[in-house]
Structure 1
Amino acid sequence: MNEALERFSVNQMTVKQLSLPELADACQELGVRNVGLWREPVQRYGVEAAAELMRDAGLTVTTLCRGGFLTAIDPVERAEALGDNHAAIEEAAMLGTDTLVLVSGGLPFDSKDLHGARERIADALDILAPYAAERGVRLAIEPLHPMYASDRCVVSTLAQALDIAERFPADQVGVTVDTYHIWWDDGAPEQIARAGAGGRIHTFQLADWTTPLPEGVLNGRGQIGDGAIDMREWKGYVEAAGYTGAIEVELFNEALWARDGREVLAETAERFVAHVMQ
């Protein structure tokens, strides 16, 4: 199975019950070579120590999640957001990943101005993109499902993400293609082709859509094969667009987190092979 897992990357959030050393050990045991990391657990462990741990385990860090939340109007909040994103870029560089995923941020308090919020994202990228490029890090704007538009991400479609990204060089700003967030959008395949033509598919992430959604919605991403999304179809779209990189499985799921993390990782790897690669 190891050969079939060459492109598989497990996002740390999928098995967040595992500590970083436990995750590294489980990946080595299963022959998993790639991981996507999250800032909070990495910071708790220590960024330098985490980078060393990943190197010693022979693991490639495919992405770091997350930067972003760049829609604030208040000058103090905006400065804080820019400072946090500068730190995220430095952490990504230290971990050896070339991709920082951006969740753009929702509407500021008492605002209904989606267009203005998206423009503030572009304004922030004017500052952040060159800074990231100097450190060998690309910024990957992730569109989130429209149900998150008010509080987490005013960028809801790949078209919206590309409209912002294309203001910058492709090696500085691109997009995240995440099946969970775009599978419903009939225009997404065309936008994937657009992104590929411009060299802007910086990462490809998978999660399934299962219903009913849980209360709170955020932690309802389904295990691969349990829901409505044809993973092979979406893999076909990104590959036709020229993407040959790692394919990262990122699951927010309370039921999975309640289980043994090593068991969940093994199951996720098996599902990846069965529903994505075969």
Structure 2
Amino acid sequence: MKAQPLTDFQRLSINDATTKIQLTLEEEIRLYAEMGIQGISIWRDKLAQCGVDRAAKLLDEYRMTVTGLCRGGMFPAATAQGRQEAIEDNRRAIEEAAAIKAQCLVLVVGGMPEGSKDIAGARQMVLDGLHSIIEYARSLQVPLAIEPLHPMYAADRACVNTMAQANDLCDEVGEGIGIALDVYHVWWDPDLRHQIQRAGKARLLGFHICDWLVPTQDMLLDRGMMGDGVIDIPQIRGWVEAEGYTGFHEVEIFSAENWWQKPAEEVLTVCKERYLKVV
């Protein structure tokens, strides 16, 4: 079942990685709003450069909805001290998300510690880390959104690679945790529809869109604009919305050699055009 065509931009959000090179956070907030885009997802490095208080004021002034703060996670480490430092950093991220009224804190959970070959052990560290921060997240009313990453990142970025694994973690941790579904990472999974159904409305905290290019020139920095690759985005959106998801559709494009080299206004214009045409 494919989703119905989109006719306006009320649910369009831009992850500010999409204009990572061109704009500061303050410039992004102003430009996105001027172009009729009311959703933004923010990376913590840009938030730090702007300042949390300044960003919160600007977001309120321009009536922007923060669809996510990127990122928490990165739990596995070779030492107990390293794991504790990750937990402390996640607590700071939760505080930042609360301050800017983010709808969720996106978690890229981390891969295996340097020198390790124990992926099961890394996954246990992720679960332990989630248990260590969930009560604090609940107290500040910040939902945690696990983002499964494509298996090519299993070693270094995220040892949670499927919706099934993310659902299992949600089962273990309980209230206050869900999933950020990024089509770039999960489009290939033959069990995707079933796992979206398993997640249901309560767990689907984010829906991220871009496209998978063939060939892909860089694992991290060669994502495609919607419609330029092989992902059937309307089909996946249809599955998500069949479960009751009514949140934003967040464009997140890492593109060092293409879209990051273009003026931000041009990038956002194409995002809007493709959003109505192919999403």
Give TM class, smaller chain: over 0.9
RMSD over aligned CA atoms reads: 1.3
Structure 1 counterpart SS, 2:53: helix
Gap runs ≥5 in structure 1: none
Q: What is the number of equivalent residue pairs in this alignment?
A: 272
Q: Paired residue for 1:100?
A: 105
Q: Paired residue for 1:161?
A: 166
Give 1:203's match in structure 2, choosing from 196, 203, 206: 206
Give 1:275's match in structure 2, choosing from 267, 275, 278: 278
1:129 pairs with 2:134: yes
Cα distance between partner residues in 1 of 2:63 and 2:178: 27
Alpha-carbon shift at residue 76 of structure 1 (Å): 1.3
Is the 2:26–2:50 contact (alpha carbons within 8 Å) kept by the matching residues of 1? no
Please give the residue correspondences for 1:37-52 in structure 2 after superposition, counting only pairs within 5 Å.
37-52=42-57
Cα distance between partner residues in 2 of 1:188 and 1:141: 15
Cα distance between partner residues in 1 of 2:63 and 2:184: 29
Alpha-carbon shift at residue 99 of structure 1 (Å): 0.1
Give 1:240's match in structure 2, choosing from 242, 250, 253: 242
Q: Paired residue for 1:258?
A: 261
1:174 pairs with 2:178: yes
Structure 1 runs (4+) greater than 3 angstroms displaced: none
Q: Deviations over 1:216-268 (max 9, x none)?
A: x1011110110001111010010011111111010001110111011101111
Give 2:41's match in structure 1, choosing from 26, 32, 36: 36
Cα distance between partner residues in 1 of 2:187 and 2:72: 23
Aligned residues with identical type, % of pairs: 44
Specify the code of the residue in structure 1 equivalent to 2:96.
E
Cα distance between partner residues in 2 of 1:98 and 1:244: 13
Q: TM-score when scaled to structure 2?
A: 0.95
Specify the code of the residue in structure 1 equivalent to 2:178.
G
Is the 1:223–1:251 contact (alpha carbons within 8 Å) kept by the matching residues of 2? yes
Q: Paired residue for 1:80?
A: 85
Give 1:141's match in structure 2, choosing from 134, 137, 146: 146
1:62 pairs with 2:67: yes
Alpha-carbon shift at residue 79 of structure 1 (Å): 1.2
Is the 1:175–1:202 contact (alpha carbons within 8 Å) kept by the matching residues of 2? yes
Is the 2:74–2:109 contact (alpha carbons within 8 Å) kept by the matching residues of 1? yes
Is the 2:40–2:64 contact (alpha carbons within 8 Å) kept by the matching residues of 1? yes
Specify the code of the residue in structure 2 equivalent to 1:23.
E
Alpha-carbon shift at residue 3 of structure 1 (Å): 6.2
Cα distance between partner residues in 2 of 1:129 and 1:68: 12
Structure 2 counterpart SS, 1:232: helix
Gap runs ≥5 in structure 2: 1-5
Cα distance between partner residues in 2 of 1:272 and 1:166: 33
Q: Deviations over 1:161-205 (max 9, x none)?
A: 1111111224x11111110000011101110010016x1111111
Q: Paired residue for 1:186?
A: 190
